[in-house]
């Protein structure tokens, strides 16, 4: 098992297929050890580009999806980002690499056991620019708002209003919308207006919460 080589190969494939192109996203994916975020018995599959089970009926996102979402959000160093759905913390770590030490990732997870485990992994790997919060992310996280970017890693019926409110003017939000047929939606806030773009079909676990599915 040569995980470093597997990682390099999958990232080269994602570049060839057009999912990722910016140096910032490529470097972040090369840096974060995905194997640290998944259960022991699945570690050999760490660089297979597919979601993997992480317990509690949840999954770690596929590598191409984390890369694509990072590109669509146009993440930059120094940004303050809200992630809804921490899961195992892998996607938060990739975002933390991109926003760097001057940036901040606030990540909300509704399942306390997953949040605790993600926090432990992120601390062990030295991601001090990530704050993990237990709660209903459909309500956002008001104490640290507003955010430059917000992304949701579970599919909801619509974009939750509190998330639009907590986005800075000029900020971008990315989330899967729909139950069975889902679309990845990019929303840009410009004053009172929200400009919506459909970024194509996706498949995510459901967003459960007050402004999500019940």
Active site residues: 61
Q: Is 34 in the site for ligand SAM (CB under 6 A)?
A: no
Q: Is 59 in the site for ligand SAM (CB under 6 A)?
A: yes
Q: Which tokens is 82 given?
A: 């809200």
Q: Is 79 in the site for ligand SAM (CB under 6 A)?
A: no
Q: Is 58 in the site for ligand SAM (CB under 6 A)?
A: yes
In this chain, which of 29, 38, 84, 184 binds ligand SAM, going by CB under 6 A?
84
In this chain, which of 14, 61, 141, 163 binds ligand SAM, going by CB under 6 A?
61
Q: Which residues lie across from 172 on neighbouring strands?
A: 149, 188
Q: Which tokens is 147 given?
A: 């955010």
Q: Which tokens is 140 given?
A: 């956002």
Q: Is 160 in the site for ligand SAM (CB under 6 A)?
A: no
Q: Is 129 in the site for ligand SAM (CB under 6 A)?
A: no
Nearest to 211, CA basis, from 150, 149, 136:
136
Q: Which tokens is 76 given?
A: 């930059």
Q: Please check whether residue 106 is in contact with residue 86, taking contact to mean a CB–CB distance below 8 angstroms.
A: no
Q: Is 205 in the site for ligand SAM (CB under 6 A)?
A: yes
The distance of closest approach from Cβ of residue 74 to ligand SAM in the complex, given in angstroms and rounded to an integer, is: 19
- In the region spanning residues 104 to 123, those forming contacts with ligand SAM, defined by CB under 6 A, are 108-111, 114
In this chain, which of 10, 25, 154, 173 binds ligand SAM, going by CB under 6 A?
154
Nearest to 68, CA basis, from 178, 169, 205, 202:
202
Pairing status of strand 130-134 against strand 167-177: unpaired
Task: Look up residue 116 and give its DSSP letter.
Answer: H
Q: Which residues lie across from 104 on neighbouring strands?
A: 80
Q: Is 208 in the site for ligand SAM (CB under 6 A)?
A: yes
Q: Using CB under 6 A as the criterion, which residues of the chain lie in contact with ligand SAM when the complex forms?
A: 58-61, 84-91, 108-111, 114, 136-138, 153-154, 204-205, 207-209, 212
């Amino acid at each position: 098992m040569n995980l470093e080589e597997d990682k390099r190969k999958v990232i080269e494939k994602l570049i060839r297929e057009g999912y990722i192109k910016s140096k910032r996203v490529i470097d972040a994916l090369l840096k974060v050890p995905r194997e640290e975020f998944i259960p022991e018995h699945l570690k050999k599959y760490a660089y297979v580009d597919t979601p993997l089970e992480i317990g509690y009926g949840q999954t770690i996102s596929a590598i191409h999806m984390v890369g694509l979402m990072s590109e669509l959000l146009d993440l930059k160093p120094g940004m303050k980002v809200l992630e809804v759905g921490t899961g195992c913390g892998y996607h938060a770590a990739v975002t933390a690499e991109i926003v760097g030490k001057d940036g901040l990732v606030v990540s909300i997870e509704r399942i306390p056991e997953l949040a605790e485990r993600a926090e432990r992994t992120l601390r062990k790997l030295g991601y001090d620019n990530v704050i993990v919060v237990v709660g209903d992310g459909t309500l956002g996280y008001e104490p640290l708002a507003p955010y430059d970017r917000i992304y949701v890693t579970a599919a909801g019926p619509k974009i939750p209003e509190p998330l639009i409110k907590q986005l800075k003017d000029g900020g971008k939000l990315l989330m899967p919308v729909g139950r069975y047929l889902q679309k990845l939606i990019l929303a840009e806030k410009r004053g009172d207006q929200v400009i919506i773009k459909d970024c194509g079909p996706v498949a995510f676990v459901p967003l459960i919460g007050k402004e999500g599915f019940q």
